Amino acid sequence: MDQQQHKRKSILSPTDDRLFKLLMTSPELRSSLADIIAGIIREPVHDVGVRNNELPTDDINDKQQRFDVNCVTHDGRQVNLEMQASRMAELPGGNHENLKNRSLYFLCDLFSTQSIKGRHFNKLARTYQVTFCSYTVFPGRENFVNEFTLRNEDGDPLSDAVTIVFVELTKLENILKKPVAEMTGLEMWSVFLQYVDKEEHQRIVGEIAMAKGEIKMAMETLINVSQDERERAINRSRRMWQADFESNMNTSREAGRIEGHAEGHAEGHAEGRAEGRIENALDTAQIMLADGEPFDKIIKYTGLTCEKVESLRNRLTKEKN
């Protein structure tokens, strides 16, 4: 096995949100960032600036750090990119409303931060919120790219000033069957992001890198980063924390279901399920408080009121003291 093969096998996945941001904000990869944005908006991007170019935190306990990449193109368009590597917590029976509304919230926030001083509203820059997802959000839709703008029930446009784009990296099976020469730029980038660390797909990823220089530069940078023991340690710690967090969340949900089922037999199924959900939400909130999660995130994930979360925090503080 030669050195290049050894490096290829040990490469880290860019679907990790920290590594994704590290790549997309690297000054050496500015042309790669412009190319991936061009693939999303389907127009040439001659230059792009990054407005939040701080390096991601090394502290795994600093959960309030966002790993988005806030960009502005040469013609003034605003594009916010992020990688959603792990499944966002949703309420039972939900349809990814937390993820969808989160994307809408950040899109509206970015669009509304533009200064209107000396300008007309129709001159505000078009703004995109782009989320690469490592899990399926729209199971009923075949396309791996789903783009949403403001339309009425007949599909007539109200405005294209704001656009949400979800790129589902779990829907690339048909893309993998295409010759590289027939792939679009976004298809190439999506295959790279999803499969560059997978040994069984190294041939097609290599072909893509040879066909598109911007992806080749990103792959070479990722290989170099992957050989850094400090980066590997950070990546390992992040994966361990995420695994523990998801396990705790699943345990809390299962405990809530069991308790709700037991109480349902004693007091009625409806009341039992309701109380089980409340206990589940409280257990989840307790875990998130212990992990230092911000209040707004706890409220969004659990559905509890601010007062309820504050009361729980005060009780936990008293018990600790």
Length of the chain: 321
pLDDT band at 239 (very low <50, low <70, confident <90, very high): low
Confirm if 127 and 162 have CB atoms less than 8 A apart. yes
Four-residue CA torsion sign, 35, 51, 58, 168? negative
Per residue in 261-305, pLDDT (tens digit) is 555 555 545 554 556 567 777 777 777 777 677 777 778 777 788
Separation of alpha carbons 131 and 88, rounded Å: 12
Per residue in 2-21, pLDDT (tens digit) is 444 444 447 899 998 889 99
pTM assigned to the model: 0.71
In sequence order, what DSSP letters do the residues of 159-175 get, joined into one string?
EEEEEEEEEETT--HHH
> Token digits for 99?
């993820």
